[in-house]
């Protein structure tokens, strides 16, 4: 039996995909960043790239684990590529997780400040209303 007759597992393809999937999305994001203000100012494009990067990170992570599980003895570079994919995807997911948490905290503090401002505005309006009512009260001299 020739070595070409033997069926190889999907591990080498999965290992390559675990590395190139997040790298390609990051390259598209970098190109969009370099493309100028027109592409960078479009919020829909940026959100699409962000979601694609998150899904690419999760998909690359899954491909790396699947490649490690399906690896056979005669397949070179599967372990190295899978570990590289795990590292790249872990860094990418950690980056997005910290950005999400910081954005969530920023939004929360802005919401708290907005509520405090609304309370202060309502208090000022009530005080102004009371002052106007006192000034037009005929029994108040």
Tell me the longest C-alpha to C-alpha distance in the chain.
113
Q: Is residue 47 part of a domain?
A: yes
Q: Is residue 118 part of a domain?
A: yes
- Is the pTM higher than 0.85? The answer reads no
* CB 67 within 8 Å of CB 11: yes
Percent of the chain residues past pLDDT 90, beyond the cut: 1
Q: Which domain range does residue 76 map to?
A: 11-135
Tens of pLDDT along 7-24? 567 888 888 888 888 888
What rounded mean pLDDT belongs to the chain?
79
Looking at the chain, how many residues does it have?
A: 141
Q: Is residue 2 part of a domain?
A: no
Q: Provide the token pair at 141.
A: 């001299």
Q: Torsion over CA of 108, 114, 115 and 117, rounded to 10 degrees?
A: 150
* pLDDT tops 70 at residue 141: no
72: left (phi over 0), alpha (psi -120 to 50) or beta: beta
Domain count, the chain: 1
User: Which residues are CB-neighbours of 43 under 8 A, at least 6 positions away?
Assistant: none
User: Quick one: angle between helices 11-35 and 78-135, nearest 10?
Assistant: 40
Tens of pLDDT along 38-85? 655 677 777 777 788 888 888 888 888 888 888 887 777 888 888 888
Q: Is residue 65 part of a domain?
A: yes
- Where helices occur in 36-77 by DSSP H, the ranges are 37-41, 43-70
Q: Is residue 140 part of a domain?
A: no
What local confidence, expressed as pLDDT, does residue 137 receive? 72
């Amino acid at each position: 039996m020739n070595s070409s007759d033997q069926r190889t597992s999907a591990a080498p393809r999965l290992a390559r995909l675990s590395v190139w999937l997040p790298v390609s999305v990051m390259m598209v994001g970098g190109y969009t960043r370099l493309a100028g203000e027109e592409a960078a100012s479009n919020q829909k494009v940026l959100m699409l790239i962000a979601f694609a990067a998150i899904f690419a990170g999760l998909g690359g992570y899954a491909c790396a684990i699947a490649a490690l599980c399906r690896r056979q003895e005669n397949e070179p570079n599967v372990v190295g590529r899978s570990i590289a994919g795990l590292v790249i995807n872990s860094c990418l997911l950690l980056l997005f997780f910290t950005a999400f948490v910081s954005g969530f905290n920023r939004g929360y503090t802005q919401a708290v400040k907005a509520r405090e401002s609304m309370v202060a505005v309502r208090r000022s309006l009530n005080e102004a209303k009371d002052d106007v009512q006192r000034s037009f009260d005929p029994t108040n001299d």
